[in-house]
A and B are shown apart, each in its own frame.
Chain A
């Protein structure tokens, strides 16, 4: 351990590369998340009868519900793959810091979620004739996704080890992630309705605080969750 920083970074990037390479060859996860997201939007369309008036007030909510559900799908799958094929044990045997494994998994999960969002946003914009490409809104989506994935990756590592693992993740994740979802919805709808920046600042600050806390906590406790 003469110089731990490069090896930490290298280990982290190796995991990210592995996940992305595996995904771009199989495209299992992304296609599932994407089709699922579009279906959720479709269901909302019927459930809420998204006409012009309703749309303005509920767009932020619909988007974040979709992202949250699709995110859960991705998180569950990405951890289950590690567990099923015994990859997790291999990763744990590697002489790298446990938090490097956490960050590697979190970054690749975040990448998948962002890819899905990048495709869902223009589709939603087109279908409902709303301009979602505002820099502020994109920033909120990025911050919200970071917080959601940061805590989600830790909880997914826990839930795949339980007996009822397929249903466990949303149950564990949603109540804990409510602050990030609430703040994201609040900030997003602020941007969509052209609210004053002063009004958006409060949820934005909370998003940043949440992101920092829920990156720091897994960093400290991830090893307790994966060790056998």
Chain B
């Protein structure tokens, strides 16, 4: 196995730097929101993590299809990497949202459509890992995993549409919020800077993590192969 590529080391450093800048922008640079106060600052990372969380699930579904067509195990590793990283980011989104909701909505959790969809999506991907754990044959694991990410990737948006039939209080900062939304606000220029930089920063961190996870997957496979050779 080759040593860690230099490009990856550079990306590690860049990730840490952009995450640092993004933290500064979110916590210091961006103006304090008039009504909600400092707790609104959660918003920048909330959207940042949500963006990469959902991005990863889409990537995983695409990788799943690619695997089923090519039967190349590299796609499977890519899919696992995307789901694993995204599940963690998406969990962070939910936790951050909860932290914001406590002062803004006066509750940690409510069965609001947006929150319910998020919880369901997270559960789909937890089920994905349980499915993989229950299968020993790596080839079968890859096939079933691919089919399940595909089902999950299709089901989550439909859940989102179904749930829109019920009313939402979750604010929509970009685009039109529903009339019942509570805790919405409009962004100033400085807020916008912090917001878009957070999106950028988390995308960089996301790519970095996927890369690490891909290397880990390749190493895992190598170890498995070596073990097999020894036992033979």
Contacts from A to B (Cβ < 8 Å): 151, 154-155, 158-159, 161-165, 168, 171-172, 174-179, 182-183, 186, 202-203, 206, 209-210, 213-214, 217, 221, 224-225
Contacts and interface: CB of A to CB of B under 8 A. Distances in A.
A172 B127 contact: yes
Q: Using C-beta atoms within 8 Å of the partner chain, give the interface range for chain B.
A: 20 to 34
Interface of B: 68, 120, 123-124, 127, 130-131, 134-136, 140, 143-144, 146-148, 150-152, 154-155, 158-159, 161-163, 165-166
A36 to B, nearest CB: 23
A158 B147 contact: yes
B3 to A, nearest CB: 36
B131 A162 contact: yes
Contacts, number: 85
Contacts of B150: 217, 221
A178 B158 CA distance: 9
B68 A158 contact: no
Contacts of B152: 175-176
Question: SS class of chain B's interface: helix, strand, loop or mixed?
Answer: helix
Contacts of B155: 175-179
A200 to B, nearest CB: 10
Instruction: Name which of B124, B148, B158, B161 has the most chain A CB atoms within 10 A of its CB.
Output: B158
Given A172-B148, A175-B124, A186 B162 contact: yes
Contacts of B120: 175, 178
Given A168-B134, A175-B120, A179-B158, A186 B148 contact: no
Contacts of A209: 158
A206 B158 contact: yes
A164 B134 contact: yes
A217 B151 contact: yes
B158 A210 contact: yes
A225 B135 contact: no
